[in-house]
């Protein structure tokens, strides 16, 4: 079995979720690496969209920002943020990848503050950027994050990005488009989705070397269990070769 690190398995797992012909809104870092890997392996017709306006580029190497000139390389269109967000609101974007400082059992994300006092928080973060728009209108939201009790909390201190809100049909009742919402959470320990009725986070797969207990011990709320929890397939030699030599040869992401 090939050797790989935490970031490499997360990127490979995320890339496998992106089928050929799908559209995905990404930022820089691990989500971009996952989209590039998918495009170079099983999804040559994947349409990658960047918040700053690049639509379906053939990325020559890892961009350092969503407005990097490489995000427009051989692209179908060099548009604008308004065009990208408009495409999301019209239902043209299948997937997006997001992250945050906190995530709760319903997939709500916080990238704004830590603490209860918005005027004087313990920590202040950059805020939403385009995350709220992406999560509100893209069909399936995926999150890539390390798993620990500080990130996985019973209730986020601030809802920067809506998930399933308070569970059940609360997202639909809020007026957000039906059929959109959190899809999968990909961590260094396993993969979670959301139970169909309660919309609570549940474990569907554990990574090699981990167990359900590891995921639960590193989570601040009770995780549900899928009827059958499988073991995540580790990265293949082909995936690792392309990831290391073509996607991120300078190890900007996988070297973390």
What H or E segment, with its residue span, contains residue 33?
helix 30-40
Q: Which of 88, 17, 18, 28 is nearest to 248 (CA)?
A: 28
Alpha-carbon span 99 to 26, nearest angstrom? 11
CB 63 within 8 A of CB 85: no
Element (H, E) at 8: helix 6-16
DSSP run (H or E) holding 31? helix 30-40
Q: Considering only CA atoms, which of 37, 115, 50 is closest in space to residue 84? A: 50
Q: How far is CA 133 from CA 57, 122, 198, in A?
A: 22, 26, 24
- Burial per residue of 155-185, b for 16 or more beta-carbon CB atoms within 10 angstroms, e otherwise: ebbbbbbbbbbbbeeebeeeebeeebbbbbb
Distance separating alpha carbons of residues 169 and 89, to the nearest angstrom: 20
Query: Which of the residues are catalytic?
Result: 51
């Amino acid at each position: 079995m090939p050797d790989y690190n935490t970031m490499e398995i997360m990127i490979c797992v995320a890339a496998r979720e992106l089928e050929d012909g799908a559209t995905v809104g990404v930022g820089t870092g691990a989500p971009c690496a996952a989209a590039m890997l998918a495009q170079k392996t099983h999804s040559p017709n994947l349409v990658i969209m960047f918040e700053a306006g690049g639509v379906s580029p053939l990325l020559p190497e890892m961009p350092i920002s969503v407005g990097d000139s490489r995000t427009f390389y051989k692209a179908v269109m060099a548009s604008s943020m308004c065009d990208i967000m408009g495409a999301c609101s019209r239902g043209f974007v299948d997937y997006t990848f997001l992250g945050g400082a906190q995530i709760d059992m319903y997939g709500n994300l916080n990238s704004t503050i830590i603490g209860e006092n918005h005027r004087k928080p313990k920590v202040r973060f950059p805020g939403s950027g385009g995350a709220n728009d992406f999560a509100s209108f893209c069909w399936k939201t995926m999150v890539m994050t390390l798993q620990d009790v500080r990130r996985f909390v019973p209730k986020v201190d601030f809802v920067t990005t809506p998930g399933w809100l308070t569970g059940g049909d609360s997202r639909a009742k809020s007026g957000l488009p039906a059929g959109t919402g959190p899809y999968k959470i990909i961590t260094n320990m396993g993969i979670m989705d959301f139970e169909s009725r309660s919309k609570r986070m549940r474990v569907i797969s554990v990574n090699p070397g981990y167990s359900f207990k590891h995921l639960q011990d590193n989570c601040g709320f009770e995780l549900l269990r899928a009827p059958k929890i499988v073991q995540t397939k580790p990265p293949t030699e082909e995936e690792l070769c392309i990831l290391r030599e073509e996607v991120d040869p300078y190890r900007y992401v996988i070297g973390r």
